[in-house]
Amino acid sequence: MRMISIKNNSISLNFLLLFSFVFYPSYLLKAKQLPEPLAFVLEQENIPPETLSIIIQKVDSDAPLIDFNSKKYRSPGSLTKLFTSFVALDYLGPETQWHTKIFASDSIDDGTVDQLLIVGGGDPFLTTDKLLELIHKLRKMGIHTIENGLLIDQRVFPKGNIKSGDFDNDPLRPYNVMHASLMANFNTIDFVVKKNAKKNKIDIEYDFLPDGIYFDNKLKIGNGSCADFREQVNFNQLIQESYPPRVIIELSGEYPQQCNQYTHDIAVTETNHFFFGLFSYLWKKSGGSISGYISEANIDKSDDLLLNFKSIKLLDLLPHLLKDSNNFIARQLFFSIGQSKSNYNLKQSRKVIKKTLKKNKINSRRNFYDNGSGLSRSTKIRPDTLSSLLQVIYQHSMSDLIISSLPISGVDGTLSNRFNSTQLKGRMRLKTGTLDGVRSLAGFVQGMSGQEYIVVLIHNDLSEHSYKTKGFENALFEWLIDDLERVL
């Protein structure tokens, strides 16, 4: 098979052969050894060799061009999502959908129902648009008024003891959103912070807010740079105990004088409150009426089913997971791969991952997969396991679904602003991983010769260090892509 949407290079065959036979590498590529140019850059950038693991090999060969610290267990960051994606596709199937079931608490009387009962099915992508689609379906059934709010069932995925913010004490960041049986729009609100020069104050703008959620703007104009916005502004979530309760998002601190506007997002931690607020807002926007609030209980009901609302298919979910590196989607998939079992839990999901990898002849050894997203210090993976996974993906019958969902260098996703030089742009499809002390890249690269390569690069250094790895990353990929001398 061929790489997908990787740009071709118009080099004549005679030109390629001339380089192949006249020019030879000035060094011999051996396992566990870096080529001289890369070893030089590594030294110049002051990167300790023991902090770095690299594997590079042709997609059609088991022999690596570079095998550097490939057997050291590393923290991979979001490269974990490659395992989650592959196992979900292979184990669940690309047509898999998640079901949200909605019941009426009693009969519908002249467009009025007492309560709507909603059983969450773990939908990973119940966005605002999808929730509005669900509401339109209910409205077309003639339902106009909901008198006593919503009763929801969050049982299908266990809640567990881990809370958003446990990872880095920043619970309002969208990447920290935890799994849920029923969640709308990732609990996330997009907004813009703007300097109002005429009134010498800061404004917060947004398209809309879910009912029961408010901003408290205490920002002042101050010094600093736009790049330090997050360091100078405090985000706090306050809950006012009333009926229904109110969630207040408080912004305080100084907004840099030199900044015009800053686009940002936050994730409310109160999942049920956010769901009701968004549902209520959209329901009223559709012309309906809703009173009451939301409560949670186990719903054991098979009759009076109003709607079995299906999510998007897994195959359509992958670009959101891999290009955008969405942690919530990854967590939902991680639980979902245990769906044939009666007991959903992380241990069961880990067993399924190991079993699926073994079936595909991938030796996962003592690798540990914590939660499927990579947002974990516990996940440990050997880089050579990742290269084996990429080989299997490349040869798999559903390879196109994963490869086409990876970010393209300098074009989209988490690589939209990386590797956008003329030589590197568009030639690489790589999953990225970034945590404090972790930088990682893995995927597929096309050289100027047309040869395609598998690449795994993981850097781990939790110590206080001032060196950067981007210069080495650029040098590595430029060296790899400029492969006319190496390909015979």
Q: What is the DSSP string of 273-293?
A: HHHHHHHHHHHHHTT-EE-S-
Same domain, 105 and 84: no
How many domains does the chain fold into?
2
Same domain, 454 and 365: yes
- Residue 7 has a pLDDT of 36
Same domain, 349 and 290: no
* CA-derived radius of gyration, the chain: 25
Whether 4 maps to a domain, the answer reads no
Q: Indicate whether 60 pLDDT > 50.
A: yes
Last residue of a domain, one of 285, 310, 335: 310
CATH number of the domain encompassing residue 461: 3.40.710.10
Same domain, 251 and 136: yes
pLDDT band at 487 (very low <50, low <70, confident <90, very high): low
Percent of residues, the chain, with pLDDT higher than 90 = 80
The answer to whether the CB of 168 falls within 8 A of the CB of 122 is no
Whether 397 maps to a domain, the answer reads yes
Last residue of a domain, one of 264, 283, 310: 310
Of 139, 486, 126, which is closest to residue 332 (Cα–Cα)?
126
Whether 22 maps to a domain, the answer reads yes
Q: Indicate whether 390 pLDDT > 70.
A: yes
Look up the pTM and report it: 0.92
Same domain, 378 and 460: yes
Residue type, 368: F
Give the pLDDT confidence of 406-424 residue by residue, as tens digits: 999 999 999 999 999 889 9
Range of the domain at 129: 99-310
Same domain, 295 and 399: no
- Residue 134 has a pLDDT of 99
Whether 471 maps to a domain, the answer reads yes
Last residue of a domain, one of 310, 338, 369: 310
How far is 393 from 86, CA to CA, in rounded Å? 7
Same domain, 127 and 213: yes
- Residue 161 has a pLDDT of 79
- Residue 341 has a pLDDT of 53
Whether 487 maps to a domain, the answer reads no
How far is 340 from 222, CA to CA, in rounded Å? 55
Same domain, 361 and 439: yes
Average pLDDT over residues 175-203: 95
Q: Indicate whether 11 pLDDT > 60.
A: no
DSSP state of 327: H
Same domain, 170 and 281: yes
Same domain, 431 and 338: yes
Whether 7 maps to a domain, the answer reads no
Average pLDDT over residues 215-224: 93
- Residue 332 has a pLDDT of 97
The answer to whether the CB of 186 falls within 8 A of the CB of 124 is no
The answer to whether the CB of 441 falls within 8 A of the CB of 452 is no
Whether 488 maps to a domain, the answer reads no
Same domain, 393 and 460: yes
pLDDT band at 398 (very low <50, low <70, confident <90, very high): very high
- Residue 9 has a pLDDT of 39
Same domain, 107 and 233: yes
Token duo for residue 38? 């890369």
Q: Indicate whether 23 pLDDT > 50.
A: no
